[in-house]
Structure 1
Amino acid sequence: MPVETITAHGVLIADHSQHMIDIVAAMLRHAGRRDIRSATDAAGAMFELKRRDFEVILLDDGLAGTDSVEFVRRLRHSEDCRNRLTPIVMMASMPDGQRIAAARDAGVTEFLRKPFAAAHLETRLEAIRKAPRATIETDDYVGPDRRRRAAPDLGTGERRER
């Protein structure tokens, strides 16, 4: 029986398609990731998320067993889940603006439109690693700060010259 290796860089891929899981896992292995777990439905994903820590979650918008946006919302508000603040990259085949906004408002960190290249996935993972965003917790929202850039200091001096 193989022994499970758990690292600080674990990735969970939650997708209804085992074929897509295999493709994304191959992309991650090519990028040097070795600690990869997967789930094909919401129950399996939640089992993995409560079992151990992950560095990032790759979540398909069509995950079996639940609405993925609602899954993110429940995860972010779940006080007993060790991965409630873990960065989430949502993957979707046919997202529209409303769905992307709903995912962002539920607490998704990054978004990937399928099909995507390995370079696109690596770019999202690098953005999460290089520029982690602070966590915001309110009654209505738990997740990454949605602001991506620092606001200029508008409180000093005149904004325009006379």
Structure 2
Amino acid sequence: MPQDKGLVLIVEDEAHIADLERLYLTRDGFGVHVESDGRAGLAAVRRLRPVAIVLDLGLPGLDGVEFCRRLRDGGDWTPLLMVTARDEEADRIVGLELGADDYLTKPFSPRELAARVRTVLRRAAGPPGEPVLTIDALTLDPSRRSVHLDGRPVELTTTEFNLLAYLMRHPGQVFSRAQLQAHVWGYADYRDGRVVDVYVSQLRGKLRDASPIRTVRGVGYSADPT
């Protein structure tokens, strides 16, 4: 199959897992490059400019958490799917707070991994030709993947952008956490609504008083003008 969907960087120190990920992503039409440690992975991001990154959190040396921190602190917002063998909520939340776009817990189906990568990239691309969205002093341009507040740019991760865009497309409409997971993440994990709360908190931190996101207690979230 021609590898015409772009290059995915896998940063994984377990060779058998990396081989499976490479196999299924290659079958899906992606080019794949593998690194086994965090420092080499960061260098590969700068050198190869992948369309997406599959990152193991439990790397030796420079671990996945520090990898993600350095990547985002450097202004690189390449879509990132993190993989962890640890099932504790805290590990997932830390990764998401640092700017990961999605996660999988080992063991996982390699078919699901490929599907998650496709979903993250599809969300990052957004629908073509969509008009600019505005609520008060906040503007969001889906085609340019840009957000401005009072004319000043606001840096958002891929998932922060997608969540804000979805809410702004439906002003005043209240969505449950499961509904937001289904529409923004492409799946709903009813045991893990906390993921949505993390991203809402991050958006509010970046938008401060201009955040249009309102909590509807016992239901979910909506985007409303002040």
Scaled by the length of structure 1, what TM-score is found? 0.76
Q: Which has the higher helix share?
A: 2
Q: Alpha carbons of 1:94 and 1:148: their partners in 2 closer, same or farther (altered >3 Å)?
A: farther
Deviation at 1:117, TM superposition (A): 1.2
Counterpart residue number, 2:92: 100
Correspondent of 1:72 among 68, 72, 76: 68
Cα deviation digits, residues 75-111 of structure 1 (max 9, x gap): 11115xxxx1110100111231111111000000110
Contact 1:21-1:38 within 8 A present in 2 as well: yes
Higher relative contact order (CA 8 A, sep 6+): 1
- Which secondary structure state, in structure 2, belongs to the residue aligned with residue 57 of structure 1? strand
User: 1:3 — aligned with what?
Assistant: none
Is the 2:5–2:29 contact (alpha carbons within 8 Å) kept by the matching residues of 1? no
- State the AA in 2 paired with 1:93: A
Q: State the 4+ residue runs in structure 1 displaced beyond 6 angstroms.
A: none
Number of the residue aligned with 1:26: 23
Q: One-letter code of the match for 2:41?
A: A
CA distance in 1, matches of 2:146, 2:81: 15
Distance 1:29 1:78, change over 3 A: same
How many correspondences in the alignment?
142
Q: Does 1:15 align with 2:29?
A: no
Give me the whole-angstrom Cα distance separating, in 1, the residues matched to 2:17 and 2:98.
24
Question: Are 1:135 and 1:145, in contact at CA under 8 Å, matched by a contact in 2?
Answer: no
- The range that moved more, 17-26 or 6-15, is 6-15
Question: Residue 157 of structure 2 aligns with which residue?
Answer: 143
For residues 29-68 of structure 1, what are the structure 2 equivalents within 5 Å?
29-33=26-30, 35-68=31-64
- Structure 1: which 5+ runs fail to align? 1-5, 156-162
Normalised to the residue count of structure 2, the TM-score between the two structures is 0.56
